[in-house]
């Protein structure tokens, strides 16, 4: 469980930041790029499928026209635009075009716009060919002007006819008034009245003639074409640029939505706050995202400095051991990978650089520690110690360049067999009595049972999480394994995503180079007397009955004395290899078996 001394790092109170969104887009950039390319492809496909059309525009200046026209007044162009789109104008344009297309269809291809603060109508026509577009625009403009002229001419003619009738009536009244004047006596009231009426009629006739004269002298001017329709050089539709931009925009939008959905469904951990938010496990250290080389890094490296800070934190939060004993720290992966070995190797180097005595024990047959320390080929390994061939201290291998660091590499351990926990605890206790710090690397607890068994006996457990590879469900599963035994889980270390293969000549212990244990079925637990075990099987032999003191033990590999200086094992189960029991050549596959042998004095 998390240490109460360590601060609980929670999610940012303000929620995701801009950098978080940018990081999310960086991770899913390929989705956005693919979606944008698909959108552009869709835009090209739509462009190819659309029929090409051409547009030509005619600009018409509209003037006030008619008998009531007042010079300087403006025309209501919104009304005139509707006149251009009327079926009356369409019929006239159809006659000019000499086409059999219906007037309604011609109007559908027409667009009339009014530029602001002007007396101009822009009449645009869309056709399947450049010539059709040019003819259509010009014909509609001409048909509109013709209709406007005809309407104005008819109105003028009607006004002239009306004025002429009024003039005839006034002339008739003048003739009658003249007769009255002639018949009336001089200086009479009747004559004076008649002369006054004649003056009124004369003035009225003058005004009628003044109105008639301009109507007869000036022809109506409805307007003129100031910019005739030109022959289009390129199609107006489809608009390739618009289609490509629209397709790319739609593709990016779809890509963002898809990337967001995939990111929400993806449970892989990429930041330390993800670990805390999803599992509640505090993050002790978050290493840089860029993966360093899989080796022991120099002290000046950024990762080495970060691990040095982690070392300082661990010294403060881990409980003080008993006097004369060192601290035992177990680091384990939470997903398949090499992150734990990378952290263990460099963290051990950080401890050793302070002058402390450090021992590293790894139970992983595929641990990268061998390659990280220059491809070590130790003479004695953990497998030899478990077989009681040598003591734990005698099997330690010095680390090149670090005088106070010793390694206990796995050797030819069989990954299909659970390690003897009692023997492992004896080894760890022996190392803790001689070293200030003992670092243990194990496989993830969901794969290696000994990880859970050893975790409850150490001073602290750290889960190593590989950024971009470990899923939150794997972290939760590992935590559950440790919580079941009440292991002292301190927190997690978020390591960068490391390469699958170690950079260097990988070698397992015992001089066997580049060999991984091949999977095979688990052995039968029962032992049948008289039956010879198969060369590739592993079995648990029953504990033998005690022999009389006078009976000497049979000579063999199981009774071999440990190397000088090694601690003598107590009577217990010995971890042995099939090679020793069956005399198989060293190049053959090695597998371990439990063989109870009592240590003889």
Query: pLDDT at residue 531 above 70?
Result: no
Res. 115: pLDDT tops 80: yes
CA angle 542, 532, 381 (to 5 degrees): 65
DSSP class of 507: B
For position 578, what pLDDT does the model report? 38
Nearest to 245 by CA among 52, 39, 49: 39
Of residues 592 and 175, the one with the higher pLDDT is 175
Nearest-angstrom CA–CA distance, 577 and 593: 6
Mean pLDDT of 400-414: 90
272: phi then psi, degrees, rounded to nearest 5: -60, -35
Q: What is the mean pLDDT of residues 486-514?
A: 64
Q: Is the pLDDT higher at 342 or at 551?
A: 342
Q: Look at residues 348, 346, 327 and name the one whose alpha carbon lies nearest to residue 460.
A: 327
328 pLDDT above the threshold of 80: yes
Cα 367-371-376 angle, rounded to 5 deg:
100
Question: How large is the greatest C-alpha to C-alpha distance in the chain, in angstroms?
Answer: 190
* C-alpha–C-alpha distance, residues 270 and 267, integer Å: 9
Q: What is the mean pLDDT of the chain?
A: 79
What residue has token string 């470990």?
Answer: 470
Helix (H) or strand (E) holding 151: helix 130-183
- Residues 119-166 have pLDDT tens digits of 999 999 999 999 999 999 999 999 999 999 898 888 888 888 888 898
Q: DSSP alpha helices (H): ranges in 358-436?
A: 369-372, 382-386, 421-432
User: What does the pLDDT read at residue 269?
Assistant: 82
Q: Cα–Cα distance between 484 and 140 in angstroms, integer?
A: 89
Q: Which CATH architecture has domain 54-227?
A: 2-Layer Sandwich (3.30)
pLDDT of residue 532: 37
Confidence (pLDDT) at 18:
67
- pLDDT higher than threshold 60 for residue 21: yes
Report whether 407 contacts 378 (CB < 8 A): yes
Instruction: Say what the pLDDT of residue 132 is.
Output: 93
Q: Which of 361-365, 376-380, 433-437, 582-586 has the lowest mean pLDDT?
A: 582-586
- Cβ neighbors of 463 (< 8 A, separation 6 or more) are 281, 332, 334, 475, 478, 479, 489, 491, 492, 493
pLDDT tier at 19 (50, 70, 90 boundaries)?
low
DSSP state string for 60-90: EEE---STT--TTPPP-HHHHHHHHTSHHHH
pLDDT at 329 over 70: yes
- Residue range 456-477: mean pLDDT, rounded: 91
For residue 540, give the nearest of 528, 548, 552 by alpha carbon: 528
Task: Give residue 512's pLDDT.
Answer: 36
pLDDT band at 516 (very low <50, low <70, confident <90, very high): very low
pLDDT for 17 equals 63
Write down the domain spans for the chain.
26-50+239-265, 54-227, 270-290+299-319+326-498
% of the chain exceeding 90 in pLDDT: 41
CA gap 308, 331 in Å, rounded: 16
Lowest mean pLDDT among 9-18, 448-457, 592-601: 592-601
Is the confidence at residue 434, as pLDDT, over 90? yes
264 — pLDDT class (breaks 50, 70, 90): confident
SS3 state of residue 219 = coil
At 333-378, the pLDDT tens digits run 999 888 999 999 999 999 999 999 999 999 998 899 988 988 888 8
CATH for 270-290+299-319+326-498, among 3.40.50.720, 1.10.1040.10, 1.10.1060.10, 3.40.50.300? 3.40.50.300
Please give the Cα distance from 56 to 236 (Å, whole number). Answer: 9
**DSSP result, 481-504:** HHHHTT--EEEEEEEPPPPSS-SS
Rounded CA-CA distance 493/286 in Å is: 6
Confidence of residue 14 (pLDDT cuts 50, 70, 90): very low
The pLDDT score that the predictor gives to residue 385 is 93
Average of per-residue pLDDT across 453-469 = 92
Helix or strand (DSSP H, E) at 331: strand 327-333
- Taking a C-beta distance cutoff of 8 angstroms, is the pair 446, 477 a contact? yes
pLDDT recorded at residue 537: 30
Burial of 181 (0-12, 13-18, 19+ CB in 10 A): middle
User: For residue 209, what is the enclosing H or E element?
Assistant: helix 189-217
Q: What is the helix, strand, coil percentage profile of the chain, to 5?
A: 40, 15, 40
The residue ranking higher by pLDDT, 580 or 223, is: 223
Vertex 240 angle, CA 237 and 242, to 5°: 95
What pLDDT score does 558 carry?
A: 33
**Between 56 and 22, the higher pLDDT residue:** 56
pLDDT at 522: 35
**Rg over CA atoms, the chain:** 51
Q: Using an 8 Å Cβ cutoff, are 375 and 507 in contact?
A: yes
pLDDT band at 78 (very low <50, low <70, confident <90, very high): very high
Query: 358 near 348, Cβ under 8 Å?
Result: yes
Distance, CA of 390 to CA of 564 (rounded, Å): 8
CB 120 within 8 A of CB 224: no
Highest mean pLDDT among 72-81, 309-318, 498-507: 309-318
Q: Count Cβ atoms within 10 A of the Cβ of residue 571 and give its class: 0-12 exposed, 13-18 middle, 19 or more buried.
A: exposed
Confidence class for position 312, pLDDT limits 50, 70, 90: very high
First and final CA of the chain: distance in angstroms? Answer: 44
What b/e sequence results for 517-547 when a residue is b if at least 16 CB atoms lie within 10 Å of its CB, and e otherwise?
beeeeebeeeeeeeeebeeeebbbeeeeeee
pLDDT in tens, 178-196: 888 888 888 888 888 888 8
Confidence of residue 68 (pLDDT cuts 50, 70, 90): low
Q: How far apart are CA 146 and CA 242, in angstroms?
A: 38
Phi, psi of 508 (to 5 degrees): -85, 165
Across residues 70-85, what is the average pLDDT? 86
Q: What is the pLDDT of residue 561?
A: 36
Q: What is the pLDDT of residues 285-303, one digit of tens each?
A: 998 877 678 889 999 999 9
């Amino acid at each position: 469980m998390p240490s109460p001394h360590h601060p609980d790092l929670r999610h940012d109170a303000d929620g995701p930041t801009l950098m978080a969104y940018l990081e999310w887009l960086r991770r899913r950039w390929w989705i956005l790029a693919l979606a944008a390319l698909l959108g552009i492809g869709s835009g090209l496909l739509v462009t190819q499928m659309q029929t090409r059309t051409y547009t030509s525009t005619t600009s018409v200046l509209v003037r006030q026209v008619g008998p009531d026209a007042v010079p300087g007044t403006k025309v209501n162009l919104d009304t005139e635009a509707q006149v251009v789109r009327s079926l009356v104008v369409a019929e006239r344009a159809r006659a000019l075009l000499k086409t059999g297309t219906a007037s309604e269809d011609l109007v559908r291809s027409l667009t009339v716009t009014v530029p602001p603060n002007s007396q101009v109508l822009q009449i645009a026509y869309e056709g399947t060919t450049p010539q059709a577009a040019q003819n259509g625009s010009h014909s509609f403009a001409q048909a509109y002007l013709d209709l406007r002229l005809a309407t104005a001419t008819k109105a003028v003619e009607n006004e002239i006819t009306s004025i002429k009738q009024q003039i005839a009536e006034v002339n008739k009244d003048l003739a009658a008034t003249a007769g009255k004047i002639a018949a009336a006596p001089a200086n009479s009231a009747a004559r004076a009245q008649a002369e006054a009426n004649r003056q009124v009629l004369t003035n009225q006739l003058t005004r009628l003639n003044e109105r008639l004269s301009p109507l007869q002298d000036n022809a109506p001017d409805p307007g003129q074409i100031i910019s005739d329709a030109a022959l289009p050089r390129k199609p107006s539709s489809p608009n390739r640029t618009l289609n490509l931009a629209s397709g790319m925009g739609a593709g990016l939008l779809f890509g963002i939505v898809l990337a967001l959905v995939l990111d929400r469904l993806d449970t892989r951990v990429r930041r330390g706050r993800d670990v805390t938010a999803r599992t509640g496990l505090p993050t002790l250290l978050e290493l840089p995202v860029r993966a360093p080389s899989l080796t022991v890094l120099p002290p000046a490296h950024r990762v080495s400095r970060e691990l040095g800070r982690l070392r300082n934190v661990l010294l403060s939060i881990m409980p003080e051991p008993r006097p004369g004993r060192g601290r035992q720290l177990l680091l384990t992966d939470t997903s398949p990978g090499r992150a734990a070995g990378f952290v263990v190797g460099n963290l051990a180097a950080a401890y050793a650089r302070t002058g402390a005595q450090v021992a590293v024990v790894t139970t992983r047959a595929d641990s990268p520690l061998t390659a990280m320390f220059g491809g070590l080929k130790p003479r004695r390994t953990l497998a030899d110690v478990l077989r009681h061939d040598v003591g734990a201290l005698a099997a330690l291998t010095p680390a090149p360049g670090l005088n106070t660091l010793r390694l206990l590499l796995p050797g030819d351990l069989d990954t299909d067999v659970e390690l003897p926990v009692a023997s492992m605890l004896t080894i760890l206790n022996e190392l803790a009595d001689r070293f200030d710090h003992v670092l243990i690397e194990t496989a993830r607890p969901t794969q290696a049972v000994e990880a859970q068994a050893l975790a409850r006996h150490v001073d602290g457990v750290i889960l190593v999480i590989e950024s971009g590879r470990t899923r939150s469900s794997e972290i939760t599963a590992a935590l559950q394994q440790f919580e079941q035994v009440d292991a002292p889980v301190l927190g997690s270390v978020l390591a960068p995503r490391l390469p699958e293969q170690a950079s260097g000549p990988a070698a397992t212990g015992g001089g066997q180079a580049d060999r991984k244990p091949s999977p095979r079925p688990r052995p039968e637990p029962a032992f049948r007397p008289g039956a010879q075990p198969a060369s590739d099987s592993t079995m648990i032999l029953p504990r033998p009955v005690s022999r009389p003191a006078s009976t000497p033990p049979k000579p063999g590999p199981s009774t071999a004395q440990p190397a000088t200086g090694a601690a003598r094992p107590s009577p217990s189960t010995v971890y042995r290899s099939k090679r020793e029991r069956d005399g198989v050549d060293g190049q053959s596959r090695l597998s371990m078996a439990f063989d109870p042998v009592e240590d003889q004095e």
